[in-house]
Amino acid sequence: MTIQSGETIPALTLTQATAEGPRELTTDALFGGKTVVLFGVPGAFTPTCSARHLPGFLQNLEALKAKGVDAVACMAVNDPFVMNAWAKDQGVEGAITMLADGSAAFTKALGLEFDLTARGLGLRCQRFALVAKDGKVSHIAIEAAGAFEVSSAEAVLAAL
């Protein structure tokens, strides 16, 4: 079942790359007491994710913060080393929290898994964006396969 507006973010652990190596980050620490925009992508370095999705959130970061957002995080079913390399490539280090869901446990808990095994890509995350206030989803937008409309930074700004 896909997570809905009004529901609580599942209590799980994601991984974040740091200078000291991979560090676990609980969803409670990420979302507790804050307004957070979390967007998910099918994969780091993929065309739409790199050309439009991640850059859009970087370009609109100040506007999101002006609307009360404390943090913006990007998640993919990748490992933390890939997410860190992508952050460096995209120039988002220190601005957007890059999160790895290597085993897709969090993606599955959200009900947002997307099986691309037939295309050689394995289990991935659907493209989505959500706003959570103190761990409760206040807005969620999930893209149709192959689309990029409702989960953009601009769409999230309009929903705030």
Among candidate residues 17, 41, 49, 72, the one labeled active-site is: 49
Closest CA to 49 of 120, 123, 143: 143
In the chain, the DSSP E strands lie at 13-18, 21-26, 35-40, 71-76, 97-100, 113-116, 122-125, 128-133, 136-142
Residue 112: per-residue pLDDT: 97
Which tokens is 34 given?
């804050």
Percent with pLDDT over 90 in the chain: 84
Beta strands across the sheet bearing 128-133: 21-26, 13-18, 97-100, 71-76, 35-40, 128-133, 136-142
Residue 49 appears among annotated catalytic residues = yes
User: Could you give the 3-state DSSP secondary structure of residue 8?
Assistant: strand
Please name the residue that has the structure tokens 């890509």. Answer: 121
The per-residue pLDDT for range 13-24, each reduced to its tens digit, is 999 988 898 999
Please indicate, yes or no, whether the overall pTM of this predicted structure exceeds 0.85.
yes
Q: How many residues does the chain have?
A: 160
Domains (ranges, CATH) in the chain? 13-159 (3.40.30.10)
Confidence band, pLDDT 50/70/90 cuts, at residue 118: confident
- How far apart CA 6 and CA 52 sit, in angstroms, is 28
The per-residue pLDDT for range 7-61, each reduced to its tens digit, is 999 999 999 988 898 999 999 999 999 999 999 999 999 889 899 999 999 999 9
User: Could you give the 3-state DSSP secondary structure of residue 87?
Assistant: helix
